[in-house]
Amino acid sequence: MTTSSPTTQALDGAAIDGGLYTDVTDFAHHTHWLNGAMSAYSAYGTGIFALLLLAAWWRARRQGSTAMAVVLATPFAVVLAYLVNSGIKTVFQEPRPCRALPHDFLIEACPAPDDYAFPSNHTTVAFAFAVALILVSRWLGSVALLAAVVMAGSRVYVGAHYPHDVAVGALVGSVVALAAILVARRFAPPLVDRLRDGALRPVLTA
């Protein structure tokens, strides 16, 4: 049983798309050969985005200060998206689907009652990375976007989230990251120029 403030009614996720969630988890129940891979990716797939960001940094060393500014701003944009998403969670306090639909197939263990479902933090972080990387490299960004879509799907597949949790998480991550990166592109390049002329030149310039 989840707790909520006297003036706040917890969001009923099962009433929104619980049927679609059940369809996905039923699919997971009948694809045991895929369970291990999806569970591992759902839990550890964010590491892929760190590797893509590392590749973007390596490329940006040979590019202008704007590209490097976006790369350096990406971790901050991701953290900001995560914080905004976490704030939304505390407002809506949607119970995890494993509590509302306890008989559905579940791969990931059911979290604590105060670990709310809406929106998905994993998906928010993945799409924040993807949007930022698209603004550095279309190729790296496309790979990141595909990885983000798979991350979103995996969170429903393992039973951690409803489809609307990941859809809104993708929106939050994309919007917050885009806003943060556009600000960085506008104001951060002069700072990168100064850093490139200082002790950090070997790190910021090829």
User: Is 47 part of any domain?
Assistant: yes
User: Is 132 part of any domain?
Assistant: yes
User: Is 13 part of any domain?
Assistant: no
User: Is 193 part of any domain?
Assistant: yes
The CATH number of whichever domain residue 89 belongs to comes to 1.20.144.10
Q: What share of the chain is helix, strand, coil (3-state, %, to 5)?
A: 70, 0, 30
Quickly state the pLDDT bin for 65 (edges 50, 70, 90). confident
User: Is 189 part of any domain?
Assistant: yes
Tokens linked to 37? 């891979």
Task: Please tell me the distance from the alpha carbon of residue 78 to that of residue 8, in angstroms, as a whole number.
Answer: 28
Q: Please, which residues have CB within 8 angstroms of residue 173's CB and are 6 or more apart in sequence? A: 78, 81, 85, 123, 124, 125, 126, 127, 128, 129, 130, 131, 148
Q: What is the pLDDT of residues 108-165, one digit of tens each?
A: 888 888 888 899 999 999 999 999 999 988 899 999 999 999 999 999 999 999 999 9
The yes-or-no verdict on residue 6 having pLDDT over 60 is no
Tally of structural domains, the chain: 1
User: Is 96 part of any domain?
Assistant: yes
User: Is 123 part of any domain?
Assistant: yes
Quickly state the pLDDT bin for 204 (edges 50, 70, 90). low
User: Is 206 part of any domain?
Assistant: no
> What's residue 102's pLDDT?
83
The range of the structural domain enclosing residue 170 comes to 19-198
